[in-house]
Structure 1
Amino acid sequence: MVQITFKKNPVTLPGNEVKVGDQAPDFTVLANDLSPVTLQETAGKVRLISVVPSLDTGVCSDQTKRFSEEAASLGDNVEVLAVSADLPFAQKRWTEINGVNSITALSDHRDLSFGEAYGVTMKELRLLARSIFVVDANDRVAYVEYVPEGTDHPDYDKAIQAVKELTN
């Protein structure tokens, strides 16, 4: 079971821990136009899924911008998804203001479907825990990072390397 803190306070993560080698759990989140999006929408591609508590905070904003910058160099067979519990309208505003257009921002606000499937819902806060998942073209999990302290940055280099290993 994954144990993390948020601002140094322990939080509860209900659900199952996702591990390397697992079949990637499906989920249903919302696009900025409120249409449902599932893992299968990107079937056949490598997916880098960047999970943040809220795009409107410093570390989350930095994380999303960093993966957006990296996305351009990863090739057409890679989808970079940013998942948070922010409302779709807030995500759309944030991506437009920040010029982030090489990733897809997705909202787990309605059902916490992603959070429950990947074991990243912080029960006490109803936010998603900072984490990274890389899923291969066959829907197998190739890389996982549950960031131990929710206000810390993930290991960007390891996540990008995991994607590159799947696309070379």
Structure 2
Amino acid sequence: MTAIAERKNTVTFKGNPVTLLGNEVKVGDQAPDFTVLANDLSQVTLDSSKGSVRLISVVPSLDTGVCDAQTRRFNEEAASLPGVKVLTISVDLPFAQKRWCGAAGIENVQTLSDHRDLSFGINYGVAIKELRLLARAVFVIDKNDKVVYVEYVPEVTNHPNYEAAIEAAKSVL
């Protein structure tokens, strides 16, 4: 088994440096595969949305203010982005994600859980070793599974650059 890369001092969480597990994903890379769980516990992989542009919004937990705002913002934007699948991935349990989406009226974003294996977190280099949470990030993947936009938010408690991610998704439609 290959050792998992550890990247120190890449991002901070509440001002403290944390270690990210997995290699950094870069623009131009072939998007790594992953296996996460949908709210009904079915498995979802990169191939599940093959042929679509994907905007993947990564959050530590939907039950926090910034994550809530980020998911709501991309949910609103998704309505005006036909042809773009917006996925929000966290380590929240699928049941909690389903409850949160129902309470928040989220209908344009698919929430997915990486709680089981950290498959997405490690493959995309966003798993926080010290906290077993995912660092805040946004990835845009084109219809051919090429990564066209990457943002690892330097301070996990800050917002991503929404406009840049949305423009990247629009540019590959």
Shorter-chain TM range is: over 0.9
Q: Is 1:52 aligned to 2:59, yes or no?
A: yes
- The one-letter amino acid paired with 1:117 is N
Give the Cα–Cα distance (whole angstroms) in 2 for the partners of residues 17 and 161 of structure 1. 22
Is the partner of 1:134 in helix, strand or coil? Answer: strand
- Number of matched pairs: 166
Q: Is 1:164 aligned to 2:154, yes or no?
A: no
User: Displacement, 1:14?
Assistant: 1.5
User: Displacement, 1:149?
Assistant: 0.1
TM-score (norm 2): 0.95
1:73-129: CA deviation from partner (whole Å, max 9, x where unpaired): 001x21000000000000000000000011100000000000000000000000000
- The one-letter amino acid paired with 2:143 is A
TM-score (norm 1): 0.98
Return 5+ residue gaps in structure 2 as ranges.
Answer: 1-6
Return 5+ residue gaps in structure 1 as ranges.
Answer: none
Give the Cα–Cα distance (whole angstroms) in 1 for the partners of residues 156 and 127 of structure 2. 12
2:16 match: 9
User: Displacement, 1:61?
Assistant: 0.2
1:144 match: 150
1:125 match: 131
Identity %, equivalent residues: 69
Q: Is 1:135 aligned to 2:157, yes or no?
A: no
- The one-letter amino acid paired with 2:86 is V
2:86 match: 80
- The one-letter amino acid paired with 1:60 is C
